[in-house]
Structure 1
Amino acid sequence: MSSNLPRLLVLTSSDFNLHTSGGIALTRFFGDWPKKRLASVCRDAANPDNYRQPNVYLLNREVGLIEPFASARRILSLLRANPAAEGEAVADSHPVAVASSLAERALAYLGGEALYSRGKLSPELMAWLDRFGPEVLFTDASDLSFIRLANQILDRYRIPLVVETYDDWPSGRYSGGLLSGHFDRDLKRGYVRLFNRASRRFVVGDAMKRAYERRYGMPFGILATPVEMGDHKPETASQNQGAAFTIVYAGAVYDHSQRESLVDVVRAVQDLADGGLPTRFRILTPERFVGTIQGDVASFGCVKVEVSPASDAIYSALSSADLLVIPVNFDRESYRTVRYSVPGKVALYLSSGRPVLVYGPSWAPIVDYVRSRGCAAVVDRRDGLAETISDLASDESKREHLAARGLEVARREHDADVVRRRLQRMFRDVLAPTDPSFAEGRG
């Protein structure tokens, strides 16, 4: 029935790829959508092949620094590059270099990130969209640029809209600059306008759904993170018999998300190892985080920090573990950042067939998610972590129960085949409404 799917335009910061979390999610959401009926407009292309795809438009002049600051920066860049082209180095004391430095400071003073919010349909993008002929727009509205672009596309093409949002990024996004208040108000107006125009609105978890429905006074559905259950064969819960009990964390390491609690886990594992329990901890993280976390844990002998494997090898890495861990920070700043977020890695962890431990505060949505489903062990206070890990290491039946329960939840809620079928049904219904469940936030 793929022939009756709408011509879908996907407007997101990431492209379709198997390297980033956003790209992987898009690939799994729309992996079997007819290629001629799917087009992507994106800013970041992690997949080099996408530069040559006719159904992919990479944003350039449509987003970025707003005018007149963009023109001023281009002029300064040209002036600074010109002497170098003639074989002269531009010293820091050169007038052009000084002007460039002052300009960057002025940008930070005036608005910083908020000034990088140009979102304007260019003639090139309009011509490209005209050739494709979109029937439905899907966007993650990931910053003010994309909110502006989405609203302009809707103004021009008068097509239905489906919006998803992964976290509460608009709250306090633009602050600290002279003009930040103006951009913050513009952001919130554009965000609300986009939600009002949407046929369907999606968030990532129960806590965010409740909060957004209270805040915006309209229904939201939950869009589950999909995993390809057929990509791997889940292992049994006892993986490393006779060897050290192996704990694995796979994911990013952000200051206001999991960094502090990840170090807590390292410290607990080291305490167990020092106490005589053969235990080791592997941290698999993207290359840009390796240096930071290595500095945090350099004094602990139990831990090894490694660059994350490619997405097609991640299941093997997870399956090598006796226990997978998801840490969440306890501090106030992290609360503001991740109070509604459910990490996408939870679906990947549960689908691996390995037992999972969540370490984080009771307010964290991931704690409520796994606790309500009984699919992971939980430590929701700053003490008791080492004891819980020790108990799990010595109780094989408990690990097997958690692994089996996690796999059951993954199959029921995150199987990409199931998620795709529901999405396709929803997109058909957007054009010819028959099923109100998504619109009413029950989907």
Structure 2
Amino acid sequence: MVSVNPLSATSNNGKTIASFFEGHPVDSIAQVFFHREAPSSPVCRKYIRITDAHILRFLTGYGRRPVAAEALHAEAATTGQSVASQANLDRVKGWWWLRLLRSLAWRFTPWESSPALVAWLDEFDPQVIFFCGGDANYLYPAVEGWARRFDIPVAFYITDDYVLPISTRSPARLIYRRWTRRVFRRMTRGAGAIFTIGDHMSKVYEARFGFSSVPIMNAVDIGRRTPPQSVAGERVDFVYVGSLHSNRWRVLSDLGSAIQVLRTEGVDCELTVYARDRPTGEAGAGLASSRVTYGGSLGQEEVAQVLARATVAVHVEAFDRESKAVTALSISTKIPEYMAYGVPILAIGPEDVASMLYVRDGGFGRCVTTQDPEDLLSAARDLAQDPEERGRLSARGLELAVINHSSSKVSALVREVLSGLVSRGSGWSAKSGCQARMPAHW
């Protein structure tokens, strides 16, 4: 398995990928990752990572020593938090010249030939590569190289869109995106299977690029949950669990203002935001002015406790053009969790974004697709004052969670596709195109 982020019990991308491999033999999985965050998932015991710090040490040492790689043992998979704050990470993500220079440094540093990494790969002797590269364009040639070296297939997983044309005034961002599109297209031609985060992405990419793919979304443990019972007149807790980047905090601030209006109308309600880092700067001021409560950072068990008590779960997507370009084809990893806990959803964002389409078409949430404060106030008021509607939405969400997000079902699908690639003995071929489709019985 190769991805930027490590497998995780809490962080979005790592948590999603880990959910696909629940039930797989632990010793049959190993991960190469490229982030300072430590892994925290029990589905894998064998890890190795290379980070920006390793690349900088190599470059500042003028290449006198090979790039280091850090092997992690099983016990490292039980704890670990991100070293860098989300706020700092978000700022760096907006500096496109810096990101371009960083990618160039990785691309022209021989990190993939690190003796420690090569020995680690040889010892594990992989049969298939599950690759989630996002816009880390410097990783794609290395994955192709490993596929060719071991003569094994690649299963390529796409979670966000980094390749469709966008309007931007940044030359660096344009160059970066074109570079990513080029390696993305090569990967889709050579991969034995392609997974996407949802039906909408699969349909758009097939129409645009001509390749078929298997949609898989975040898998959750549903168990024997039943929708919570709502009672008229009880306190209504609106809860948001997730990140505040891509201008999501602005939408949450608008919702906070609507909830303040409801409080003046005598409705006992509150909006609480749970995020990794306390919002600061413009985001902190905006949320504070709307009297949005910051509930802190949550571990996985705490997320379960919060959602079990929540009256309404909130999902937001920003309306500005740049934020929308990033999230247009993606399904939020939190939506399946909300569904699995039987919590009705208030979804706010552009009507053509994949997450909004999923909530609308599934019929398990109330969608607000305009920036009109009256529309937002009306939706929040309806959910706060109508326990029967909340109950109906809760039941529908739980029903769809069983169908679309059951961890046993999703992991079985992933296992079947990967096993098929291995059994066919298919390796990398830049002319083959995607060979795997959704199994007929799914």
Choose which of 360, 369, 372 in structure 2 pairs with 1:371. 360
Aligned to 1:78: none
Change beyond 3 A, Cα 1:54–1:395: closer
User: Structure 1 residues 222 and 290, CA, compared in 2 at 3 Å: closer, same or farther?
Assistant: farther
Paired with 1:64 and 1:400, the residues of 2 have a C-alpha distance of 53
Structure 1 residue 65: Cα displacement: 6.1
How high is the sequence identity, in percent, across the aligned residues? Answer: 24
How far apart are 1:276 and its partner, in Å?
A: 2.3
**2:271 paired with 1:281:** yes
Q: How far does residue 284 in structure 1 lie from its aligned partner after superposition?
A: 0.8
Aligned-pair CA distance for 1:134: 0.5
C-alpha change, 1:112 and 1:130, in structure 2 (3 Å) is closer
SS of the residue aligned with 1:117?
A: helix
CA deviation digits over 1:184-234, x for unaligned, max 9?
Answer: 55433322111111111011122211221123221112011111113x845
178 and 294 in structure 1: CA distance in 2 versus 1, 3 angstrom threshold: closer
For 2:436, the aligned partner's letter is A
What TM-score, normalized by structure 2, do the two folds share? 0.80
- Matched to 1:210, the amino acid is K
SS where residue 4 of structure 2 aligns? strand
Which one of 287, 294, 299 corresponds to residue 289 of structure 2? 299
- Opposite residue 207 of structure 2, the aligned amino acid is R
Structure scoring higher RCO (CA < 8 A, sep ≥ 6) equals 2
In 2, the alpha carbon distance for the partners of 1:219 and 1:228 equals: 28
Q: Is the 8 A contact 1:121 1:152 kept in 2?
A: no
Which stretch shifts more, 217-226 or 109-118? Answer: 109-118
What is the match of residue 68 of structure 2?
none
CA contact (8 A) 1:66 1:117 kept: no
What SS is found at the alignment partner of 2:113?
A: coil
Secondary structure of 1:421's counterpart equals: helix
Written as runs of structure 1 = structure 2, the 5 A alignment for 1:331-410 is 331-383=320-372, 384-410=375-401
1:207 aligned residue (193, 197, 200): 200
Figure out how many residues of one structure are paired with residues of the other and give that number: 394
1:244 correspondence with 2:244? no
**Counterpart among 160, 165, 182 of residue 167 in structure 1:** 160
SS in structure 1 at match of 2:397: helix
Instruction: State which structure, 1 or 2, has the greater radius of gyration over its C-alpha atoms.
Output: 1
Distance (Å, rounded) in 1 between the aligned partners of 2:99 and 2:145: 26
- The reply to whether residue 191 of structure 1 matches residue 184 of structure 2 is yes
With over 3 angstroms needed to count, the CA separation of the structure-2 counterparts of 1:112 and 1:176, relative to structure 1, is farther
Compute the displacement of 1:112 (Å).
3.8
Gaps of 5+ in 2: 65-95, 426-433
1:255 CA displacement: 3.1
Mapped to 1, the partners of 2:211 and 2:137 lie a distance apart of: 21
Cα contact 2:220–2:406 (8 A) shared by 1: yes
User: Which residue does 1:151 correspond to in 2?
Assistant: 144
The TM-score with structure 1 as length reference comes to: 0.80
Structure 1 unaligned residues grouped into runs of 5+: 1-9, 75-106
| Distance in 1, Cα, partners of 2:157 & 2:98 | 32
Shift of 1:147: 1.1
User: Is the contact made by 1:63 and 1:145 (CA closer than 8 Å) also made in structure 2?
Assistant: no
Cα offsets for 1:359-409 (capped at 9, x unmatched): 112111112112112111111112211111111222111110000000001
Q: What is the identity, as a one-letter code, of the residue corresponding to 2:123? A: R
Cα RMSD of the aligned pairs, angstroms, is 3.3
**1:326 shift after superposition:** 0.7
1:82 is matched with which residue?
none
Matches for 1:92-111 after TM superposition, within 5 Å: 108=97, 111=100
CA distance in 2, matches of 1:289, 1:189: 36
Q: Would the aligned equivalents of 1:358 and 1:376 in 2 still touch at CA under 8 Å?
A: yes
**What is the aligned counterpart of 1:262 among 244, 252, 262?**
252
After superposing the two structures, state which structure 1 stretch, 25-34 or 198-207, moved more.
25-34
Q: Secondary structure at the match of 2:415?
A: helix
When residues 265 and 157 of structure 1 are mapped into structure 2, their CA distance, relative to the original with a 3 A threshold, is: same
SS state at 2:411 partner = helix
1:217 match: 210
